[in-house]
C-alpha cells in the first residue's frame, strides 16, 4: 500500500515538511493541503488524516515551560502526591487558569503554570486568594 510505505519510509521527511508548511501557513486553505499531499504523492484524504494525527501528537506533547515542576504529571499524579482528591486539584487548576491568564495570553500556558504551582502547594490558589483578600486586593 502506498500509505503504509509512505508512513514507514518517508514519514520523517513528510512530518518535517508538514510542520514547516503549517508554520509558514498557520491557516491553510484546503487547496493548499491538497497541493502538499500531491507533492508528497499521497491521496488528499489519507494525507489529511496524517496531518491531524501529527498535529494532535505535537499539541499533546508540547511543553510550554520546559523544566516545570509538573512536567509529565497528570492531575491525578498531583492529587496523589499531596493525598488530596482529583476534584480539589481540578478546582485549583480552574482558579489558577483564571489567575494566570492575567499574565499570559494562552490558556494552555496558564494551566501549565498553575500545575507547576500545585505540584508544590496543592491549595496554592486558595492561599493566594486568602492573602489577597487580607491585603484588600481585588483579584478576580
Question: Of 135, 67, 129, 139, which is closest to residue 103 (Cα–Cα)?
Answer: 139
CA atoms within a 13 Å half-sphere pointing along the CA-CB vector of 75: 11
pLDDT at residue 55 above 80?
Answer: no
pLDDT tens digit sequence for 60-88: 555 666 667 888 889 999 999 999 999 99
pLDDT in the model for residue 137:
79
Distance CA(47)–CA(54), nearest Å, equals 11
pLDDT tens digit sequence for 93-104: 999 999 998 888
pTM of the model: 0.55
Distance CA(121)–CA(115), nearest Å, equals 10
For the chain, the structural domain boundaries read 2-61, 75-134
pLDDT at residue 3 above 50?
Answer: no
- Average the pLDDT over 24-29 and give the result: 83
pLDDT in the model for residue 1:
39
Amino acid at each position: 500500500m502506498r500509505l503504509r510505505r509512505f508512513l514507514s519510509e518517508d514519514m520523517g521527511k513528510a512530518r518535517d515538511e508538514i510542520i514547516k508548511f503549517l508554520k509558514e501557513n498557520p491557516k491553510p486553505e484546503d487547496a493548499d493541503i491538497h497541493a502538499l499531499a500531491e507533492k508528497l504523492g499521497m491521496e488528499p484524504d489519507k494525507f489529511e488524516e496524517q496531518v491531524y494525527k501529527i498535529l494532535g501528537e505535537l499539541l499533546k506533547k508540547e511543553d510550554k515551560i520546559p523544566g516545570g515542576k509538573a512536567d509529565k504529571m497528570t492531575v491525578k499524579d498531583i492529587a496523589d502526591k499531596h493525598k488530596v482528591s482529583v476534584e480539589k486539584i481540578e478546582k485549583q487548576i480552574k482558579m489558577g487558569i483564571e489567575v494566570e491568564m492575567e499574565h499570559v495570553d494562552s490558556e494552555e500556558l496558564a494551566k501549565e503554570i498553575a500545575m507547576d504551582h500545585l505540584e508544590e502547594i496543592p491549595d496554592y490558589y486558595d492561599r493566594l486568594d486568602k492573602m489577597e483578600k487580607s491585603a484588600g486586593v481585588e483579584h478576580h
